């Protein structure tokens, strides 16, 4: 909510405050100490041997937070995870990045991290789909695969001996992203889940939630296994793709609506989930709003009220 800059009327301010107060009251009492600010006490069992982690300090026999964030517990380790911190990569994270340099045998990507990431030519599938040793010809043709400013989806491989963060794209679902919008949101709004690739079938678009705070909303792309396709069929499909170089108007509108839904959720500080994005898009359609009207003050208030109602219903069912 800190980044919310809207010209709200008095009535809209009151409605928004009520919705946010309701959302805050719906938080579980068992997790009442989950969010802390500087100098807040952290509830711990003094009988256990607690390990004090990052963002904590012992003061007069009490465990006190030195950061604003969320209390995390791993066995006996207690630490505070800062919400406004930059993205911290972990092995297996699905991330989205933008190519900033084509270097020998590698691409350098900006991924919203304190340093750039590296995607090696040997760590990705070649366009022909054949698994083979990379040659000098492949290195010369690197720009035909990815070039500067291309948006790429990949997976975190880990930090290598050279100290660089390395990525890999050894699956057909990874690679270059086209015909869509790239959004930047705080990384803590994207919760790590088993599935970060979502196909909104009713709208014909794809939604990719990058763990690094980059979100992609674009035209749906069918993932094909090129290893089992016949060569004649493959050439026919390539010819069709060359002919169809445009995105239908309805699909473009759906992309803009889904992207605006993510912007609204990010500004309000809501966790980005495919279910809520779909509900916000449906809400804008039911109100017959144009795409640009989704970024108006009244729609922000409506989304906050609807989210409060949704969470209230979920709590009653439990």
Chain segment 246-305, per-residue pLDDT in tens: 888 999 999 999 999 999 999 998 889 999 999 999 999 999 999 999 999 999 999 999
Mean of per-residue pLDDT scores for the chain: 84
Q: Do 283 and 303 form a contact (C-beta atoms < 8 A)?
A: yes
Residue 36 φ/ψ region, left for φ over 0, alpha for ψ in the -120 to 50 degree band, beta for the rest: beta
Mean pLDDT of 168-173: 87
Give 99's pLDDT tier (boundaries 50, 70, 90): very high
Q: Report yes or no: 127 and 137 within 8 Å, Cβ to Cβ.
A: no
| DSSP SS3 for 301 | helix
Q: For residue 262, give the nearest of 182, 143, 154 by alpha carbon.
A: 182
Q: Do domains 33-85 and 86-177 have the same CATH topology?
A: yes
Buried b (16+ CB within 10 A) or exposed e, 146-160: beeebbbbbbbbeee
Find the helix or strand (DSSP H, E) in which 281 lies: helix 274-286
- Choose the weakest-confidence range: 7-16, 48-57, 242-251: 242-251
Q: Would the pLDDT of 232 be above 80?
A: no
The CATH code for residues 33-85 is 2.40.50.100
Query: What's the whole-model pTM score?
Result: 0.81
Checking if the pLDDT of 226 tops 50, the result is no
The tens digit of pLDDT for each residue in 133-154 reads: 888 888 888 999 999 999 999 9
Structural domain spans, the chain? 1-30+180-224+246-318, 33-85, 86-177
Residue 236 predicted with pLDDT over 80: no
For the chain, give percent helix, strand, coil, nearest 5. Answer: 35, 25, 40
Residues 6+ apart with CB under 8 A from 92: 155, 156
pLDDT band for 243, please (50, 70, 90 cuts).
very low
Phi-psi region of 103 (alpha: psi -120 to 50; beta: other; left: phi over 0): beta
Q: Per DSSP, which regions of 178-262 are E strands?
A: 180-184, 197-200, 205-209, 214-219
- Cα separations in angstroms, 190 against 90, 184, 235, 272, 308: 14, 11, 38, 6, 19
Name the pLDDT band for 46 (thresholds 50, 70, 90): low
What superfamily does domain 86-177 belong to in CATH? Answer: Nucleic acid-binding proteins (2.40.50.140)
Question: What was the pLDDT predicted at 212?
Answer: 93
pLDDT of residue 150: 94
């Amino acid at each position: 909510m800190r980044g919310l800059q809207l010209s709200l009327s008095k009535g809209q301010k009151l409605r928004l405050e009520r919705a946010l107060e309701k959302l805050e009251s719906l938080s579980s009492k068992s997790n009442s100490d989950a969010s802390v600010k500087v100098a807040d006490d952290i509830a711990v069992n003094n009988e256990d041997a607690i390990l004090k982690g990052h963002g904590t300090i012992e003061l007069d026999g009490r465990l006190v937070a030195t950061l604003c964030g969320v209390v995390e517990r791993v066995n006996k380790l207690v630490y505070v995870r800062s919400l406004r911190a930059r993205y911290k990569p972990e092995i297996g994270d699905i991330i989205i990045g933008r190519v900033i340099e084509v270097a020998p045998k590698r691409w350098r990507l900006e991924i919203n991290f304190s340093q750039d990431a590296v995607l090696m030519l040997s760590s990705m599938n070649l366009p022909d789909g054949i698994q083979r040793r990379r040659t000098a010809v492949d290195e010369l043709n690197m720009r035909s695969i990815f070039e500067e400013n291309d948006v790429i989806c990949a997976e975190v491989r880990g930090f290598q001996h050279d100290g660089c963060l390395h990525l890999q794209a050894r699956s057909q679902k990874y690679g270059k992203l086209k015909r869509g919008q790239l959004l930047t949101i705080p990384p803590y709004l994207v919760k790590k889940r088993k599935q970060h690739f979502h196909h909104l079938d009713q709208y014909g678009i794809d939604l990719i939630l990058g763990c690094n705070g980059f979100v992609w909303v674009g035209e749906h792309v069918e993932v094909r296994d090129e290893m089992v396709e016949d060569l004649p069929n493959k050439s026919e499909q390539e010819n069709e793709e060359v002919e169809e170089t445009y995105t239908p108007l309805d699909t473009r509108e759906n992309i803009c609506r889904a992207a605006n839904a993510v912007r609204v959720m990010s500004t309000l500080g809501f966790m980005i989930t495919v279910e809520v994005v779909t509900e916000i898009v449906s809400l804008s359609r039911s109100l017959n709003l144009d795409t640009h009207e989704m970024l108006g003050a009244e729609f922000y208030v409506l989304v906050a009220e609807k989210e409060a109602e949704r969470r209230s219903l979920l709590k009653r069912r439990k």
